[in-house]
A and B are shown apart, each in its own frame.
Chain A
Amino acid sequence: MSEAATATVQEAPPEARTVIEVRDLVTHYGPREILHGVNVDIVEGEIMVIMGGSGSGKSTFLRHLMALQRPTSGSIKILDHDVWSLSQKQLFELRRKLGVAFQSGALFSSMTVGENIMLPLYEHTKLDRTTMEIMARMKLEVVELSGFEDLMPSELSGGMIKRAAVARALIMDPRILFFDEPSAGLDPVVSKQLDELILRLRDAMGMTICVVTHELDSAFTIADRITVLDQGNILFIGTVDELRSSASERIQNLLNRRSEEAEIDPDEYLRRLTGDKEEAEGMPR
Chain B
Amino acid sequence: MAEGSNQNTAQSAFGRFFDKVGRTSISGLEEVGRHGVMLVESLYWLIAGPRMSQPVRLGSVIAEMMEIGVRAIGIIGIMAAAIGAMLAIQGIYTLKVFGAEGHVVLGVAFSMVREFAPLITGILVAGRSGSALSARLGTMKINQELDALEVMGINPVRFLVVPSLIASLVMVPVLTFMSMALGLYAAALYVRATLGMTMAAFFDQTINVLSLDDLMHGLGKAAIFGVLIALIGVLNGFLVKGGAEGVGKATTRSVVQCISAIVVTDMLFALVATF
Would you call A106 and B153 a contact (CB within 8 A)?
A: no
Would you call B144 and A88 a contact (CB within 8 A)?
A: no
The reply on A102 being an interface residue by CB < 8 A is yes
Would you call A92 and B153 a contact (CB within 8 A)?
A: yes
Q: How far is the CB of B161 from chain A (nearest CB, A)?
A: 15
Would you call A68 and B144 a contact (CB within 8 A)?
A: no
A106-B152 contact, Cβ under 8 Å, with A89-B52, A124-B53: no
A-B contact pairs, 9 of them (CB 8 A): A93-B153, A99-B151, A100-B147, A106-B145, A119-B152, A123-B153, A123-B154, A124-B153, A172-B152
Would you call A120 and B153 a contact (CB within 8 A)?
A: yes
Would you call B144 and A92 a contact (CB within 8 A)?
A: no
Would you call B153 and A95 a contact (CB within 8 A)?
A: yes
Binding site for A on B (CB under 8 A): 52-54, 139-140, 143-145, 147-148, 150-155, 159
Q: How far is the CB of A188 from chain B (nearest CB, A)?
A: 24
* Residues of chain B lying within 8 A (CB to CB) of residue A95: 150-153
Question: Which of B52, B54, B143: most chain A CB closer than 10 A?
Answer: B143
Q: How large is the interface on A (under 10, 10 to 19, 20 to 34, 35 or more residues)?
A: 20 to 34
Closest to B146 in A: A106
Q: How far is the CB of A233 from chain B (nearest CB, A)?
A: 25
What would 5 more interface pairs be, CB under 8 Å, given A66-B151, A95-B150?
Answer: A92-B155, A95-B151, A109-B143, A119-B152, A123-B54
Interchain CA distance A88-B144 in the complex, whole Å: 21
* Residues of chain B lying within 8 A (CB to CB) of residue A105: 143
The reply on A98 being an interface residue by CB < 8 A is yes
Q: Which residues, 53 to 105 on A, are CB-close (under 8 Å) to B?
A: 63, 66-68, 88-89, 92-93, 95-96, 98-100, 102-105
Would you call A68 and B150 a contact (CB within 8 A)?
A: yes
Partner of B143, one of A93, A100, A104, A123: A104
Closest to B148 in A: A106
* Residues of chain B lying within 8 A (CB to CB) of residue A98: 151
The 3 residue pairs across chains A and B that have the minimum distance between CB atoms: A106-B148, A106-B144, A102-B144
Would you call A92 and B148 a contact (CB within 8 A)?
A: no
Would you call B148 and A102 a contact (CB within 8 A)?
A: yes
Closest to B136 in A: A110
Q: How far is the CB of B185 from chain A (nearest CB, A)?
A: 37
Interchain CA distance A103-B143 in the complex, whole Å: 9
* Residues of chain B lying within 8 A (CB to CB) of residue A104: 143-144
